[in-house]
């Protein structure tokens, strides 16, 4: 699965879910989020049989408009692209993924994090996108944001 978001965080005092269905340590799901006080966008997805889940952190300010892409393969390395800062980060775990979570995907929150944010774009794919596809999406998303007066 993959998720694309153009978002800005408006409340850094609490955990902020941007996209996803994360609920708790037993039903990880998949999410793009920012932790309390943190200035980076983080992507995470559960692993089969491992309650620790897996996260990858893409650094770069989430207080301003940020273009983030999370690519989660069924098996393999989870990757987050912070296309605003140009940072890419990957998880080290390669166990099978389990994206059960709390229910349907949410936009602007998940089932555990509800900090305030603004969402300008949210996209979901039913498979992991490639680096080439991420580049194509980035070009399109930047043009989309520019037409709305947003720079990412």
How many domains in the chain? 1
Domain that residue 24 falls in: 2-147
| pLDDT tens-digit series, residues 12-68 | 788 888 898 877 666 677 888 888 777 788 888 876 665 555 565 555 567 789 999
In a domain, 37, yes or no: yes
Let me know if 132 is exposed, middle or buried by CB neighbors in 10 A (0-12, 13-18, 19+): exposed
Residues 6+ apart with CB under 8 A from 119: 5, 6, 7, 18, 19, 107, 108
Cβ-contact 39, 16 below 8 angstroms? no
Q: Is 118 part of any domain?
A: yes
**Among 41, 40, 3, residue whose Cα is nearest residue 21:** 3
Tell me if 127 sits within 8 A of 1, measured CB to CB.
Answer: yes
Instruction: Decide if 72 is inside a domain.
Output: yes
Residues 121-141 have pLDDT tens digits of 999 999 999 999 999 999 999
The answer to the question of residue 23 being in a domain is yes
| 78 confidence band (pLDDT: 50, 70, 90) | confident
Q: Is residue 152 part of a domain?
A: no
User: pTM here?
Assistant: 0.88
| CATH code: domain of residue 116 | 2.60.120.200
Closest Cα to residue 22, out of 8, 37, 43? 43
DSSP 3-state of 140: helix
Beta carbons within 10 angstroms of residue 92's beta carbon: 8
């Amino acid at each position: 699965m993959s998720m694309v978001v153009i978002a800005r965080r408006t409340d850094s005092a609490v955990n902020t879910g941007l996209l996803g269905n994360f609920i708790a340590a037993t039903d990880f799901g998949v999410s793009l989020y920012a932790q309390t006080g943190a200035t980076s966008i983080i992507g995470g997805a559960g692993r089969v049989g491992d309650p620790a889940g897996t996260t990858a952190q893409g650094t770069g300010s989430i207080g301003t408009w940020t273009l983030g892409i999370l690519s989660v393969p069924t098996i393999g390395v989870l990757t987050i692209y912070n296309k605003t800062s140009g940072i890419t980060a990957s998880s080290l775990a390669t166990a099978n993924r389990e994206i059960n979570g709390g229910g349907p995907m949410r936009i602007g929150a998940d089932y555990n994090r509800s900090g305030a944010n603004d969402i300008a774009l949210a996209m979901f794919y039913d498979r992991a996108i490639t680096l080439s596809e991420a580049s194509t999406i980035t070009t399109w998303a930047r043009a989309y944001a520019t037409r709305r007066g947003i720079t990412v």
